[in-house]
Structure 1
Amino acid sequence: MTACPIHLSSRLPRLPRLPRLPRLDALRGLAMVWMAGFHFSFDLNQYGLIGRQNFYADPFWTTQRTLIVTLFLLCAGLGQALAFEHAARMAWRRWAQIAGCALLVSAGSWWMFPHSFIWFGVLHAMAVMLLLVQLLRPQPGWRVGVERWGWGLAGALLLLPIWLAHPFFDSRLTGWVGLATHKPITEDYVPLLPWFGVMFGGWLLGRWLLKRPSMGVLGGGLGALTGLLQPLARLGRWPLSFYMLHQPVLLGLLEVWTLLRRA
């Protein structure tokens, strides 16, 4: 197995390093902090350290989850727009990291929640969505057309679960599509529909902003980052590492707190 290692870097030229966009990093960092706060609240609830909360049905919590996932996927779409501008091919190493972490999330959640483990959460969805965006990558012959029909496609993707939901998609084998008639029992569920519409919309928005560099989070005309935006931007450079580590750290701290209380 190890006698003849294959080094992809020796076969493929390295992708150019993408420029950092501090405002996009800060927006992603905001999503990460919000996510950590949400998960810490969930953990406190599991340990019985706050008043009993229903994270699965209470609109206060379900709305937050929806907004957090929306912000993450918008940032992912914006990042793909930037990547397409500066790289001729997909960053397969990064994709492999995301897909591998998705498998680790499934394994870890199965150990903690065997009856509701994460079989298609945000990382699973991200891995598939990155492949789909790559398929929709504009080609020279139809680059103008993508803006023409792209927003309509993004809107249709958001609405398809309302129009086409069917019991056929209620199993784990088909539930990842997003046309299920009810939400499955799982700790995190981010099906392709409607969520790919969010990421695809972020990609279209990124393409639009890149043509207007003085506007929005992709622009540079709004001055230097100040205040809390600077640490958020630094944090936003490490979304995958933060995602994989923040829950073990939070749970570890709660375990230590529980042991100290019993001592």
Structure 2
Amino acid sequence: MKIQRFDTLDALRGLAMLWMTGFHFVFDLRYFKLVTQDVVRDPFWTWQRTLIVSLFLLCAGMGQAFATAQGQSWPRFWRRWAQVAGSALLVTVGSWLMFPNSFIYFGVLHGLALMLIVVRLTAHWGRWLWWLGALAIVSKFIFENLLQTGPLLPWADSLNSMHWNWLGWISKKPVTEDYVPLFPWLGVMWWGAAAGAWLWRQQFDWLAHPLPQPVQALAGLGRWSLSYYLVHQPVLIALVGGFSLLFK
């Protein structure tokens, strides 16, 4: 069965890609010491990262809701999942070559690969996804507090270790270039799935309505989001790094 794509969703995903590119451009400028903006600690930049990842995962959740509503088969799902998981492995290898002391072992694609399975299994749970999403997000802050001063303090070292910090129930952020753990981010993706299910039932005409011509380019970018994600940073690093060498 052919799964219908929606330009509206693809355009939102394309917007997230462009926003991410701008963020990474500033990150690379800082890495090559061409600007002084602190994209790691300055709230202006850290909140942008949070919003970018949130938009990306909301789109992923909506995509799973639409695929489930159209009866996507498990073999088709696993083919797409393998592309995401394989891309996550490439990110790990590439980041280890460039940042051996802070390589990416559970970034956005790693988290997405795990969350896709969870959301695929639960996408039909309807309104419960709103409550589950809220619980998943709140759990991050509950565990953070309990691990710092509460009864879970003896477990802090274990949950902060690389073996378990992919859960996100931590009291100390790991040293890594990208970190998108299961909690709280699964909550955002669950909300995306809940919103997608609602749109499918209540606003299908709006969802399928053609986009204005200027926005079509965003939809085209969104349809190739995984490929774009893998390529954009190497290209930016090469361009910014080459520029920095020329003008040192």
TM-score (norm 2): 0.90
Tell me if the contact between 1:122 and 1:188 (Cα under 8 Å) persists in the aligned partners: yes
Distance 1:226 1:88 in 2: 28
Amino acid at match of 2:22: G
Distance 1:26 1:232 in 2: 5
Q: Name the structure 1 match of 2:190.
A: 200
Q: Name the structure 1 match of 2:134.
A: 155
Question: In the alignment, which of 40, 51, 63 is matched to residue 67 of structure 1?
Answer: 51
1:215 Cα offset (Å): 6.4
Same amino acid, percent of matched pairs: 50
Q: Name the structure 2 match of 1:170.
A: 160
Residues 237, 195 of structure 1: alpha-carbon distance in 2 compared, 3 angstrom cutoff? same
Residues 215, 195 of structure 1: alpha-carbon distance in 2 compared, 3 angstrom cutoff? farther
1:28 Cα offset (Å): 0.4
Distance 1:201 1:137 in 2: 10
Q: Name the structure 2 match of 1:220.
A: 208
Question: In the alignment, which of 34, 37, 44 is matched to residue 29 of structure 2?
Answer: 44
- 1:115 matches 2:101: yes
Residues 121, 213 of structure 1: alpha-carbon distance in 2 compared, 3 angstrom cutoff? same
Q: Which has the higher Rg, Structure 1 or Structure 2? A: 1
Deviations 1:31-82 (A, max 9, x none): 00000010011001111112x1222210011000000000000000000011
- 1:129 matches 2:125: no
TM-score (norm 1): 0.85
Deviations 1:188-238 (A, max 9, x none): 00000000000011001100110023566xx134xx322531111111100
Residues 96, 161 of structure 1: alpha-carbon distance in 2 compared, 3 angstrom cutoff? same
- Unaligned runs of at least 5 residues, structure 2: 148-155
Q: Name the structure 2 match of 1:238.
A: 224
Higher relative contact order (CA 8 A, sep 6+): 2
Residues 150, 259 of structure 1: alpha-carbon distance in 2 compared, 3 angstrom cutoff? closer
Tell me if the contact between 1:209 and 1:215 (Cα under 8 Å) persists in the aligned partners: no
Amino acid at match of 1:194: P
Residues 71, 137 of structure 1: alpha-carbon distance in 2 compared, 3 angstrom cutoff? closer
Deviations 1:132-176 (A, max 9, x none): 1122243xxxxxxx3343221111001001112331310000000
Amino acid at match of 2:202: R
**How many equivalent residue pairs?**
235
